[in-house]
Amino acid sequence: MIDRDEVLHVASLARLALREEEIEPLARELSAVLDHVAKIGELDLRDVQPTSHVVEVTGRLRPDEPRRCLPREVALDQAPAISGGGFLVPSPQA
Amino acid sequence: MSTAQLLSLSVRQAAEAISSGSLTADELFEAYRSRAAADRAAQADGLNCFTWVADAMQDGERAGPLAGIPLAVKDLFCTEGIPSQAGSRILEGYEPPYTATAVSRLASSGAALLAKTNQDEFAMGSSNENSAFGAVRNPWDRSRVPGGSSGGSAAAVAAGLAPWALGTDTGGSIRQPASLCGIVGLKPTYGSVSRYGMIAFASSLDQAGPLTRDVSDAALMLRHMVWQDPCDATSLAFPETIELPAGERLDGVRLGVPAELSEEGVQAGVRESFQAALGRAEELGATVRAIHLAHAPHALSAYYLLAPAECSSNLARYDGVRFGLRAPDPEDLLDMYTRTRHDGFGAEVKRRIMLGTYALSAGYYDAYYGRAQRVRTKIAEDFSSAFAEVDLIATPTSPTVAFKLGERTADPLSMYLSDYCTVPMSLAGIPAISIPCGLSEGLPVGLQLAGPAFSENRLLDAAYALEQAIGFDTGAARV
């Protein structure tokens, strides 16, 4: 069961603001889903390796050579605010 | 050629008509473009299939084996200079500086971008009701959902507003809407189509694939998409050419039917239609036998831990810094992050971010994420054992026919159960196709066939033979 404090803690980890009226429904819905998925706790999974990749692959490395990338002005073109050729954000401390 | 004749053509037939000169690419494109534009203009009074519709065919879209064939593309594929929002408010106004590989592969074969299709936000949903652009309606019954998350793609193809469409499937997002809309949907083997430029949801599961009127068109689209892309390190070289299916028999094909995915929780009408399809398969020479996928009942639980966990990480990039929405007048940096994400994400996306963040957080990681990755291994092993005994596995695609708009929105868990039959294959990374196999309550029922990794040619052949025998009219819901 997820309570109000846990919802607020997880929301802060997820950098998500919540309105007061969103907290209780989230606690209820997350609890219901977690109750359902908790059934996998009943399985005996000793000696089972976790999946790392579904299809057998070996690491593919490319030569470490410089390649063309997005021009700066294109990369900045979609930003909500820019300054001096970079992304502009508010100060970390108001 | 009359418009009705033109609309009745599959892509394969249309391409033949264009190369023989009985149809021009411009006629074909304009016929679909005007229909798609009318649906876009009607918004909530139409099916609401599209988020953007082309004004005209672009230059350079008239050469190649798919020359001039109009292509509808799910909103979550990046298309250069064309709005790509993945159905989310947080990407409002975003016009990517590059095009997804899956789209550019099809374009370089001649396909012409017709429209972007509506979808559940970031592909999270099974009803296409979680979209910043509003819900999509099912052309078979407008009071019902088209399925999701590729609901706009599925409804557009079923309604004849696009000849075919590109979708993505993470836990069933191609197959389930294809099933609910009475068309064909294929999720390829994980890695066979590049994910470069696909706006990410759960990277270990996301896979692009075709939504089409028939099995031949699914093969045709897949043929032009598979590629080992230097821009996606998880993409793989498909070991053979994708052939257009031709066989009409299933002699010697061993079909396995897992009790775990075909009995409990499946609507009676769906079961009946599914059983009838198995009967057809036997008439065509296949042997049908019961098998077991012992861990399949746990697949949904594992999926709803793994997919949200990956989503919580992938969606961390939406912070109001580089693109998309930024909340107005932030007090400081943290306030900008948290309010931008609050305002930009819809309710279901927030739920999944919260669920995933919780499952990955200190103290819970082993109990949730770690266990789910082990369950995933068991599910993949179950499939491997099954494929030692049978060639393909058959299940219903969706436990139910299309449900009513609003019916499951209040209860997230009931919505998640829509993916019960499709999620196991996603976790195992294996290919699966849904084809329409009949009607229940006047609504389409889908048959799902799954095979081992890279068995697409065999899968398409079997689906084609069954499709010919079943003779489902995919034009019945054309508007």
Q: How far apart are CA B343 and CA B339, in angstroms?
A: 6
Strand partners, B212: B164, B184
pLDDT at B40: 97
ipTM value: 0.95
Distance between CA B441 and CA B181 in Å, rounded? 13
Distance CA B455, CA B430 (A): 9
Chain A contact probe: residue of B85, B358, B411 with most A CBs at under 10 A: B358
With 0-12 / 13-18 / 19 or more C-beta atoms within 10 angstroms meaning exposed / middle / buried, residue A66 is exposed
Provide the number of CB pairs (under 8 Å) joining chain A to chain B: 163
pTM equals: 0.97
Cα B87 from chain centre: 14
Place of tokens 């639980």: B301
Cβ of B53: how many Cβ atoms within 10 Å? 23
What per-residue confidence (pLDDT) applies to B61? 61
Catalytic residue among B109, B131, B173, B312: B173
Q: Is B343 exposed, middle or buried (0-12, 13-18, 19+ CB in 10 A)?
A: middle
Q: Quick one: fold of A1-41?
A: Histone, subunit A (1.10.20)
Active site residue B149: yes
Whether B53 and B33 have beta carbons less than 8 Å apart is answered as: yes
Burial (0-12, 13-18, 19+ Cβ within 10 Å), A70: exposed
Torsion of CA B59, B63, B69, B74, to 10 degrees: -70
HSE-CB at B67 with a 13 A cutoff on CA atoms is 15
Per-residue pLDDT of chain B (479 residues; tens, 9 = 90+): 899 999 999 999 999 999 999 999 999 999 999 999 999 999 889 999 999 999 998 866 678 899 989 999 999 999 999 999 999 999 999 999 999 999 999 999 999 999 999 999 999 999 999 999 999 999 999 999 999 999 999 999 999 999 999 999 999 999 999 999 999 999 999 999 999 999 999 999 999 999 999 999 999 999 999 999 999 989 999 999 999 999 899 999 999 999 999 999 999 999 999 999 999 999 999 999 999 999 999 999 999 999 999 999 999 999 999 999 999 999 999 999 999 999 999 999 999 999 999 999 989 999 999 999 999 999 999 999 999 999 999 999 999 999 999 999 999 999 999 999 999 999 999 999 999 999 999 999 999 999 999 999 999 999 999 999 999 999 899 98
- Structure-token pair, residue B282: 């036997």
Higher pLDDT, A46 or B145: B145
8 Å CB contact of A93 and B332 = yes
Look up B74 and say whether it is catalytic.
yes
Residue pair B359/B305 in contact by the 8 Å Cβ criterion: yes
DSSP-derived pairing of the beta strands B70-74 and B112-117: parallel
Using the predicted structure, report yes or no on whether residue A1 has a pLDDT greater than 90. no
In one letter, which amino acid is B401?
V
Asked whether B156 and B162 are in contact (CB, 8 A), the reply is yes
Beta bridge partners of B445: B438
Element (H, E) at B156: helix B151-158
pLDDT at A94 over 70: no
Given an 8 Å threshold on Cβ–Cβ distance, is B413 in contact with A77? no
Six-digit token pair at A29?
């819905």
Contact list in A for residue B367 (CB cut-off 8 A) is 41
Pairwise CB contact (< 8 Å): A49 & B325: no
Extended beta strands in B70-197, E state: 70-74, 112-117, 164-169, 184-187
Return d(Cα B263, Cα A65) in angstroms, integer: 55
Q: A69-73: long-range contacts at Cβ-Cβ below 8 A with a sequence spacing of 24 or more? A: A70/B97, A70/B98
B268 Cβ contact list (under 8 Å, min separation 6): none
* Domains of chain B, first to last: 3-252+457-470 (3.90.1300.10)
- Please identify which residue in the block is written with the tokens 């699914």: B218
Residue in A11, A52, A70 nearest the CB of B354: A11
According to DSSP, residue B77 is labeled: B
Q: Could you tell me which chain A residue has the CA closest to the CA of B315?
A: A14
Q: How far is A86 from chain B (nearest CA, A)?
A: 10
- What whole-number distance in Å separates Cα of residue B419 and Cα of residue B436? 17
Whether B88 sits among the annotated catalytic residues: the reply is: no
Identify the CA nearest to A18 among candidates B108, B405, B350: B350
* A positions 9-38 inside 8 Å of B (CB): 10-11, 13-19, 22, 26, 29-30, 32-34, 36-38
- Longest CA pairwise span in chain A (Å): 57
Which of B329, B350, B351, B354 would you mutate first to test chain A, the one with the most A CBs within 10 A? B354
For residue B440, which phi and psi values (nearest 5 degrees)?
-135, 130
Write the residue in B332, B355, B371 that is nearest to A91 by C-beta. B332
Please report, as a single letter, which amino acid is at residue A24. E
B185-B189-B193-B199 Cα dihedral, nearest 10 degrees: 70
- Separation between Cα atoms, residue B72 and residue B49, nearest integer Å: 10
Closest CA to B393 of B461, B437, B472, B452: B452
